[in-house]
Structure 1
């Protein structure tokens, strides 16, 4: 069954062909928003969650409930201004809205 499952432990997206994308919250390293010029009658905003190992999960905006958005906004240094910029974008773009801090205080590569 295709769909997105968001829990306190992980975010998982099952694609129509049965493939599964998943990232654990504790392994989250980066959050991006990708926008496309496909709207307004097709999905055109996607949250991309990338884990420390490089694997990730794409969450369509339509599946991003308030609890999911709240969890993202609670990440230290989350860039809400970039989210607003992404939400009004009508072009094919990527927005980096959060990256995990390294133990030394710098941003992860």
Structure 2
């Protein structure tokens, strides 16, 4: 069944064709917002969650509840100003709102709660 599942372990999107996109919170490496010029009568804001392996999950704004946004906002260094800027955008754009910090040895050092 198509839809988005968000829980304490992962974010999963199942598309109508059965394809599944998933990223575990502990593997989250980057969060972007993508906006399109398709609104306001079509979905035009998408959260893109990218895991450490480069795979990820796209969450349409309509599927992003307040608990999901609160979870993202709890990430250290999450850029709320970029989220506001994205929500006001009416053009095709990308906004980097969070990236996992790197440790001094160059490895991605932050683990999401």
TM-score normalised per structure 2: 0.92
Mapping of 1:50-65 within 5 angstroms?
Answer: 50-65=50-65
Partner residue in 2 for 1:32: 32
Q: Structure 1 residues 18, 37: CA separation in 2 closer, same or farther (over 3 Å shift)?
A: same
Q: What SS does structure 2 have at the residue aligned with 1:30?
A: strand
Unpaired runs of at least 5, structure 2? 109-113
Q: What's the Cα RMSD here? A: 1.5
User: For residues 25-68 of structure 1, what are the alpha-carbon distances to aligned partners after superposition, in whole Å with 9 as ceiling and x for unaligned?
Assistant: 00000000000000000000000000000000000000000000
TM-score normalised per structure 1: 0.96
Mapping of 1:81-100 within 5 angstroms?
Answer: 81-100=81-100
Q: Structure 1 residues 107, 62: CA separation in 2 closer, same or farther (over 3 Å shift)?
A: farther
Q: What SS does structure 1 have at the residue aligned with 2:77?
A: coil
Rounded Cα–Cα distance in structure 2 between residues aligned with 1:26 and 1:32: 17
Partner residue in 2 for 1:80: 80
Shift in Å at residue 104 of structure 1? Answer: 1.7
Q: What SS does structure 1 have at the residue aligned with 2:71?
A: helix
